[in-house]
Chains A and B, each alone.
Chain A
Amino acid sequence: MKITFPHMGNTYIGVKVLLDSIGIEYVIPPLCNKKALENGIKHSPEFICLPFKTMLGDFIYGLENGAEVIMNGASCRQCRQGYYGDLFQEILRSIGYEHKYININLHEMSFDNFYDNLRPYAKNLSKFKIIKAMILAALTVLSVDKLFEAANHIRCKGTKIGSVDEEIKRFRDKVHKAKGYIKISKLISSTRKKIKLIAKNNKHKKSLKVVIIGEIFIASEPFTNLEIERRLGNLGVDVYNTMSVGMWVREHFIHNLIPFKRKNKVTEAAQTLIHTDDIGGHGVDTVGMAILYSQKGYDGIIHVYPFTCMPEIIAQSAFSTIQEKYGVPIMTLILDELTGEIGYQTRLEAFVDMMEMRKQMKSSNPIYAKDSG
């Protein structure tokens, strides 16, 4: 039986390595696109968050193209994401797609959870094989992250607009067809080398620095954030996206394997304003990241989330206090299926202009440089 899974940024590359290493066949939907979203919207509740709609569209594609099993990740707590799975199943069945369902516990990823879920679909799956597959998948996710991190830094330093994204497109076309950890990791490292060459003469060019925070799906899926990293890079901005899949894997998988609790700097920072450890989703992280990155020399912070996302709406209430204290501007961009490209681009351009002006003012008159703290 073939498995299908939804897209969220670059997760598909890690999932490919996982399933290739175990020997399970799969159907990867095309990268998030308008048609998939329209299919999803047709059958989704009107006010459900945007990720649900794109994921539903992906499942529909997979089930129409040979898959019989859908694989979903869930983390059952305060935000709605944990309840997607039941609604996916109900909706898909009601529109005629019989299917089997795999639920991966995202809040506490464990070898046992993967093993129990994937064993029915893999021939001779041993615990050793699943452990090895998960480790290779985790390593893949972390190295894909490094590739896209490099792309986000270098995009603004190239002499020709679009050269980084041409390499990324070539990478995506090849990785779609490549199979197995070895081939995929070779492709990742060769692409990274090519991208680094693009900036070889311009490595020390000074650019505005912006950090992206917010809800993980919107922050990491370029279709839903209207390719914010590319747009900012083409405006000459050096971008760091905090919400990467690698970050998630580190927090919920790798750190779970460590037998003792570590201090989480982001949560600690957040708790100066939000006096609890969890308000659902990444709400607390958003506040913590806004505080930490306001003190790391960034020129601006961009906060993204899908329309109606409850934890992020709460996090947003901390921003005027954080901006007043640290002096780093934070712009919130709320995305849904009706977000207009032109208005979005205008807001990004205005934000970049504003950061540029502030930088010039600070360098020409030290009175405008704000102390942190």
Chain B
Amino acid sequence: MNVSQTITSKKVTIGFPKALMYFQHGTLWEAFFKALGCTVVISRDTNKTILDLGVRHCNNETCLPVKVFHGHVLSLKDIVDFIFIPRYISLEKNAFSCPQFCGLPDSTQLNLKGNIKIIEIKIDLRNGMVKTQEDLKKLSQILSIPYETVKKTYSDIIGTTPVDNIQPRIKSITKHKNVAPTLIAVLGHPYMIYDSYLSMNLINKLSALGIIVVTAADIDTDTKHKNAEPFNNRTFWSMGFDTLGSAYTYISQPTLNGIIYLTPFACGIDSIVTEFIERRLRNKSTIHYLKLTMDEHTGEAGFNTRLEAFLDMVQVN
């Protein structure tokens, strides 16, 4: 960690970038740090300024969500004591995180030229809690709180690994059998589909038209893992299990009218996951499918046109 002095008897303010893992685990981590007496400041929603800040500090090839993350970090750095950047290596058995998550604290520090103070917590379940506990010890020194207290708070609030805190949108997909509203699944990384700027407000646009939107959060984890062929019992990315498993579960739903997949330009994980999904759709289904690729140059007008054309097609059939 990049601290040269411990802060004692002073309230520590921690900044949370509203990007990447925030959408899945933000409330959990917020509860953890607040329980330790910290003040938590969350950055504002993604906007053009944040995007531009991030783009300026990352190399061109970095994916859009990580660029945006950098922008959020920069927007917080002068108003907080530390930025919280967890290092997700393996969050569950047989699963890895995207390489960007494995190196996130380092690449952020390097891209921002060492100008930020980071609190990092590693989660690598291949080694159990060993690495996490090392980071909790460092955290206890920074906050001047006994390690046992930090460890217990972590165990009470996080457990061994953070779980998604995304609320499901509907109670049951089968409830909508033979009901008039169109049912569409929006798939993609949570930090794309729930970020209203990066998603160009997709979910709200659909809901405003009376469309019922479902996402990966509306299916339980076991079902998603079981259906994530051919990786169901093998090593894969956590996000891959979630997206691939959801897609295959939704594809077998007779009441589903369409799937929209929102992907950042040149996302490595999506290049594999969408290929499997598209092949399954081509071979075994007549569900309408739209893939929307986003980068920092995507224009909203073009995006809306494609969406309208897709919805025309879905609602006519």
Give the B-binding residues of A (Cβ under 8 A). 45-49, 76-80, 82-83, 86-87, 90, 94, 273-276, 278-281, 283, 307-311, 313-314, 316-318, 320-321, 334
Contact = CB atoms under 8 A, between A and B. Distances in A.
Contacts of B111: 317
A288 to B, nearest CB: 13
Contacts of B58: 317
Which of B61, B103, B234, B266 is packed against the most chain A CB atoms within 10 Å? Answer: B103
B285 to A, nearest CB: 15
B100 interface: yes
Main secondary structure of the interface of A (DSSP, over half): loop
Contact of B106 (A46, A79, A274, A311): A274
A78 B88 CA distance: 11
A86 B230 contact: yes
Interface in B262-279: 266-272, 274-276, 279
Interface string B98-117: 11101101110011011000
What size tier do the contact residues of chain B reach? 35 or more
B276 A317 contact: no
A80 B272 contact: yes
Interface in B193-246: 230-231, 234-237
A69 B64 CA distance: 40
Main secondary structure of the interface of B (DSSP, over half): mixed
Given A310-B99, A314-B99, A317-B59, A273 B272 contact: no
Contacts of B110: 273, 317-318, 320-321
Nearest to A308: B266
A279 B110 CA distance: 15
Given A276-B103, A278-B89, 5 more contacts: A45-B272, A90-B279, A275-B120, A276-B87, A276-B122
A317 B106 CA distance: 9
Given A45-B275, A80-B268, A82-B235, A334 B103 contact: no
Nearest to B271: A47
A304 to B, nearest CB: 13
A253 B87 CA distance: 29
A94 B230 CA distance: 15
B106 A308 contact: no
A276 B86 CA distance: 12
A79 B105 CA distance: 18
Contacts of A311: 99, 103
A79 to B, nearest CB: 6
Given A273-B106, A273-B110, A279-B103, A45 B271 contact: yes
Interface in B64-120: 87, 89, 96-100, 102-103, 105-107, 110-111, 113-114, 120
B88 to A, nearest CB: 11
Contacts of A283: 99, 103
B252 interface: no
A96 to B, nearest CB: 14
Contacts of B272: 45, 48, 80, 83, 87
B155 interface: no
B8 interface: no
Contacts of B274: 45
A316 B103 CA distance: 12
A275 B104 CA distance: 10
A273 B80 CA distance: 24
A94 B279 contact: yes
B276 A316 contact: no
Interface in B173-211: none
B271 A48 contact: yes
Given A79-B99, A83-B236, A308 B268 contact: yes
A86 B231 contact: yes
Contact of A275 (B59, B105, B231, B279): B105
Nearest to B62: A313
22 contacts: A45-B272, A47-B266, A48-B272, A76-B234, A76-B235, A78-B98, A78-B237, A80-B269, A90-B279, A94-B279, A275-B120, A276-B122, A279-B103, A283-B103, A308-B268, A311-B99, A317-B58, A317-B62, A317-B110, A318-B110, A321-B114, A334-B61
Contact of B96 (A78, A273, A308): A78
A189 B266 CA distance: 44
Which of A94, A276, A280, A318 is packed against the most chain B CB atoms within 10 Å? Answer: A276
Which of A45, A80, A309, A320 is packed against the most chain B CB atoms within 10 Å? Answer: A45
Contact of B61 (A86, A316, A318): A316
B58 to A, nearest CB: 7
B235 to A, nearest CB: 4
A87 B96 CA distance: 18
Contact of A281 (B99, B230, B234): B99
Which of A47, A79, A316 is packed against the most chain B CB atoms within 10 Å? Answer: A47
A77 B279 contact: no
Given A76-B235, A80-B272, A83-B272, A274 B266 contact: no
